[in-house]
Structure 1
Amino acid sequence: MLDKILASIGIGAARVDARITSAGVRQGDELVGEVHVIGGSVEQSISQIYMYLYTEYSREVGGTQSRQKEVLASYRISDSLVIRPNETRIIPFQLRVPHHAPISFRTQQVYLSTGLDIEMAIDPKDKDLITVLPDPLIEQIFAQAEDLGFRHTSESGYCEYKKHIHRMVPFVQEFELRPTDRFRDELDEIELIFDVYSEGVDVLLEVDRKAKNARGLLQDMLGLDERYVRFTISRTKGLASEELARMIQRGLDMIPK
């Protein structure tokens, strides 16, 4: 009886450990692994094994920046089962990572939380860091940007709250790049936001022209030196050669000199 009471508050209770098979997973692909359930000192009934994928994003609340948690997807791994003392159950899983999961870039992270639902007890949990790799179409864009001499700034890759831009989540992951070669005399920076789905990637490109005179400084202060260009890359066609350069030039042409 004492063992059951202790297990209900987590002492000598069953434990859970998710083990990921692959080192990384692309947006939209499957995450493969195993859930290890290790019995404690008493027999326990588990009503379900669940997992959820989540990330965090920055949001200004009351003039202060705070971190908000966002669940990207939830999964039910197993129905009810009984785990005996010191028994180990291994349950394989394959989970589809949603296209809208942010890329693991610098300090922007994605986590997999695994839990056991045990009635009248503290639910054991496990947390694992997941490496989310970019969609191949996004890799093409980054490759073209690098060929054009663009480099990520220290602020690039962070997720922040933005309404009405992404279809699935209340934040966007912004990639901020500065020119070092071809566009360095015309641009301060560009920003890229991606909306990935099964047929392709929608791209929102922000072009920020460099101020060269008093008028340009005024436009900079008023935010008139920035223009947005939207375009879509389909999986059937991919990214054409120099397409990013053409889109950047289109944005530049929209800004008064």
Structure 2
Amino acid sequence: MLNKFLASFGIGAAKVDARLADSKVHPGGELRGEVHVKGGNVEQTISQIYMYLYTEYYKETNDTKTKHKEVLASYRVADSLLIRPGEEKILPFQLRVPYHAPISFGRQNVYLSTGLDIEMAVDPKDTDVVTVLPDPLAAQLLAEMEGMGFRHSYDSGICEYKKHIHRMVPFVQEFELKPTSMFRNELDEIELIFDVYPEGIDVLMQVDRRPSSLRGIFEEMLDLDEQYVRFTIDRQRGVIPGELERRIRQALVRR
């Protein structure tokens, strides 16, 4: 009786451990592995074994930033399961990573949480860091920016709350890049947002001009120095070399 009471608080209860075959995955790919369930000191009935992939994003309200969790995908490994003291069960799993999962970049992480749903008891859980690799098209675009001398800022790659921009989640992942050679005298920074899907990638590029006159300073104060460019890259066509440079130059001559 004492062991059952303690197990309800997680002491001597069953434990869960998700073991990934490979923790690196591209958007649209699959995470595969095994869930190991180890019985504790007493027999327990597990209602279900669940997994969910999640990330975190920041939302600013009244000049205060708060962190929020967003579930990207979920998977039920098993339903009702009896685990006896000291017994170990191994269950395979596969979970598809959605295309809207953010890239693991800088301080932005993606996690896989695995839990046991046990009635009238604390749910045993296990959390693993998953590395979401950039979609090949996004990787090419970022490499082209770096080839032009752009360097990521400290906050580059962080997910920020933005309503009505992304179709599936309430945030966007913004890559902020500052010029160090080419465009150094013309730009403050470039921001890139990617929307990846099976057929290609949609790109939203914000071109932030460097003020060069009193008028430019006033434009910067009013955010009139920012030019937005949207374009799509078909996966079959791929990234054309020099495409980003051409689009940046086109944005600079627009008013």
Whether the TM-score (by the shorter chain) exceeds 0.5 is yes
Shift in Å at residue 62 of structure 1? 3.9
Task: Report the AA paired with residue 177 of structure 1.
Answer: L
Residue 20 of structure 1 aligns with which residue?
20
Task: Report the AA paired with residue 232 of structure 2.
Answer: T
| 1:68 equivalenced with 2:68 (yes/no) | yes
Aligned equivalents of 1:225 and 1:64: distance in 2? 25
Shift in Å at residue 48 of structure 1? 1.0
Shift in Å at residue 191 of structure 1? 0.3
Shift in Å at residue 166 of structure 1? 0.6
Q: How does 1:29-108 map to 2 (within 5 A)?
A: 29-108=29-108
Shift in Å at residue 45 of structure 1? 1.3
Residue 204 of structure 2 aligns with which residue?
204
Aligned equivalents of 2:113 and 2:23: distance in 1? 17
* 1:45-76, Cα deviation, whole Å (9 max, x unpaired): 11211001111111123432111111111111
Find the residue that maps to 2:17 and give its secondary structure.
strand
| 1:172 equivalenced with 2:177 (yes/no) | no
| 8 Å contact kept, 1:206–1:251 | no
| 8 Å contact kept, 1:3–1:42 | yes
| 8 Å contact kept, 2:53–2:112 | yes
Residue 254 of structure 2 aligns with which residue?
254
* 1:199-228, Cα deviation, whole Å (9 max, x unpaired): 111100000111111111111111111110
Residue 137 of structure 1 aligns with which residue?
137
| 8 Å contact kept, 1:16–1:115 | yes
| 8 Å contact kept, 2:23–2:129 | no
Aligned equivalents of 2:74 and 2:96: distance in 1? 10
* 1:157-206, Cα deviation, whole Å (9 max, x unpaired): 11111101111111111001011222112111100011111111110000
Aligned equivalents of 1:237 and 1:206: distance in 2? 23
Shift in Å at residue 108 of structure 1? 0.9
Aligned equivalents of 1:39 and 1:113: distance in 2? 19
Task: Report the AA paired with residue 204 of structure 1.
Answer: L
Structure 1 unpaired stretches of 5+: none
Residue 226 of structure 2 aligns with which residue?
226
Moved over 4 A (4+): none
Q: CA RMSD in A?
A: 1.2
| 8 Å contact kept, 1:48–1:80 | yes
Aligned equivalents of 2:242 and 2:104: distance in 1? 26
Task: Report the AA paired with residue 145 of structure 1.
Answer: M
Q: How does 1:108-123 map to 2 (within 5 A)?
A: 108-123=108-123
Q: Percent identity?
A: 66
The 1:62/1:223 distance shift into structure 2, 3 A limit, reads closer
| 8 Å contact kept, 2:29–2:97 | yes
| 8 Å contact kept, 1:229–1:250 | no
* 1:96-135, Cα deviation, whole Å (9 max, x unpaired): 1111111111111111110011122221111111111111
Aligned equivalents of 1:68 and 1:129: distance in 2? 17
Aligned equivalents of 1:248 and 1:96: distance in 2? 35
| 1:241 equivalenced with 2:238 (yes/no) | no
Shift in Å at residue 250 of structure 1? 2.1
**How many residues are paired up?**
255
| 8 Å contact kept, 2:23–2:31 | no
Task: Report the AA paired with residue 57 of structure 2.
Answer: Y
- TM (normalized to structure 2)? 0.96
Shift in Å at residue 2 of structure 1? 2.4
Shift in Å at residue 42 of structure 1? 1.4
Aligned equivalents of 2:153 and 2:141: distance in 1? 16
Structure 2 unpaired stretches of 5+: none
